[in-house]
Structure 1
Amino acid sequence: MSYRKYLLCLLRLIIQAEFKVMLKYQFRKIIRWSVLRFMEELEKIEYKPIPVRTLLVEMKNLSELMIDLAYSSALFHSRELAEDVLELEKKVDNLALLLKMNIMIAARDAKDAEDLLGVSLVSSSADKISDAAADIAYIVLHGIGIHPAVREAFERVEERLGRFVVKPNSILADKKLRELRLASRIGVDIIAIRRGKDWIIDPKGNEKILKDDVLIARGAASGIKELEELAQGTLRRLED
């Protein structure tokens, strides 16, 4: 288990322990809010003939991104990152349903069912990871602090995560990632782009950044700070 995943599990356990000592009305408030949100956002999922491998890879990528967003939202108490986690959880849930539909159609006999059992287990694992990340996001959104020991452990992680909106006057706007060479220049990788309601996970070099895009980046603290200034338009040039 990676250090980041270990910290996420530790944080979740501490939060679960803290839930036991919360006042009953606070707990009920969270449950009521969560149920109402789920009912409002529930949408009908229609069958689509998508390869099982494609669905599994997308679920894996999304759940890994959710882990990063969840621990960063807890560390920096960022409601924006927490909201992103919940949006991604909804997407993972939809993918899980699509995967189950495709598995049911593909299983023609007992042998097929046995062969597809492993796929179902992998899907379930990715779904559980996304649920764990969402648990952290709910805590952040309800203003429940994390234990100082957990915060100290998070701060020892060298890599940081940043979330920045690209302003119209930013030099990043209308540039391809390949042109910007952010990894070699400032030591930062763009791991996801949110464009409206769509998510581009692990964008490639030919992906163009547009104004109002939300960039999710990973890198050293100094590089994350520089990217923030570039996205806001306060820094007008990239040093080679």
Structure 2
Amino acid sequence: MGSSRKYENHPMNVKDALKGLLDLSSLMLDLAYASVIHDNSELAKQVVDLEASINELRDAVLVHMSVAVRSMSDAERSLSVFRAADIASMMAYEAVEVARMVLRGLRLHPKLREGLMEAEESVDIIKVHDGSVFEGLTIEEALMISGVGFNVIAIKSGDRWIINPDESHRIMRDEILVVRGTREALERLRTLVEGDLG
């Protein structure tokens, strides 16, 4: 009874739940990738902790779609949603397995790590130093002045992790940014975050 009531009162519809599932699974892959190439166990733990959210979103999709099926044609139309939910969930679970490898102390061969870091798009971990031009700016403002495209996928602020921060988040000194972008964008971004416009 408690479980069914949970979904009856759930404000999220199928579209929002599926979008959340797809977005979160993609984010988890990025975080797991960053945890591997930077050998960062803190990021790996964040990925493992997000598994519960994936399970909740997946269950929300499956329950709401199951309730909506009234006929064979409804069932056939719902297949694409079920498949998308399964694919997103599998991606997330793969990310969790990668993160657990990091937590177990397994490391990539240096050559393989080097190859991953030289990919056209990558993930970097950058600390905001004193005097950085980004200090005090929102993510949206930082995007505008940087002149490059990037996506802040996580921020460590003190002992707290902020996953998928809003663009209104104000960047503070000593925060650690986990960012995704092209190699050129990340190099430019590191210069800006760690120093000045030069």
* Same fold by TM-score greater than 0.5: yes
Indicate whether 1:96 and 2:96 are aligned. no
Q: Name the % identity.
A: 26
Q: Among residues 46, 49, 52, which one is paired with 1:87 in the alignment?
A: 49
Which whole-Å CA distance do the structure 2 matches of 1:168 and 1:107 have between them?
A: 57
Q: Which has the higher contact order (CA 8 A, sep 6+)?
A: 2
Q: What residue identity is the alignment partner of 2:118?
A: R
**Superposition pairs of residues 5-44 of structure 1, within 5 angstroms:** none
**Structure 1: segments with no counterpart, 5+ residues:** 1-43, 230-234
Residues 93-133 of structure 1 deviation map (CA, whole Å, 9 limit, x = unaligned): 22111111211222233332221121011000000001111
Is contact 2:143-2:149 (8 Å) kept?
A: no
Which whole-Å CA distance do the structure 2 matches of 1:80 and 1:227 have between them?
A: 24
**Structure 2: segments with no counterpart, 5+ residues:** none
Query: Aligned to 1:192, what secondary structure does the other structure show?
Result: strand
Q: Over the residues paired in the alignment, what is the CA RMSD in angstroms?
A: 3.2
Question: CA, structure 1 residues 144+131, in 2 after alignment: closer, same or farther (shift >3 Å)?
Answer: same
Which whole-Å CA distance do the structure 2 matches of 1:177 and 1:140 have between them?
A: 29
Which whole-Å CA distance do the structure 2 matches of 1:127 and 1:175 have between them?
A: 35
| TM-score normalized with structure 1 length | 0.63
Which whole-Å CA distance do the structure 2 matches of 1:167 and 1:152 have between them?
A: 25
Q: What residue identity is the alignment partner of 1:199?
A: I
Question: CA, structure 1 residues 190+89, in 2 after alignment: closer, same or farther (shift >3 Å)?
Answer: same
Residues 33-79 of structure 1 deviation map (CA, whole Å, 9 limit, x = unaligned): xxxxxxxxxxx893114221212222112212222222221122111
Query: Aligned to 1:208, what secondary structure does the other structure show?
Result: coil
Which whole-Å CA distance do the structure 2 matches of 1:186 and 1:79 have between them?
A: 31
Which whole-Å CA distance do the structure 1 matches of 2:189 and 2:48 have between them?
A: 23
Indicate whether 1:116 and 2:81 are aligned. no
Query: Aligned to 2:81, what secondary structure does the other structure show?
Result: helix
| Equivalent position of 1:153 in the other structure | 115
| Equivalent position of 1:190 in the other structure | 151
| Equivalent position of 2:169 in the other structure | 208
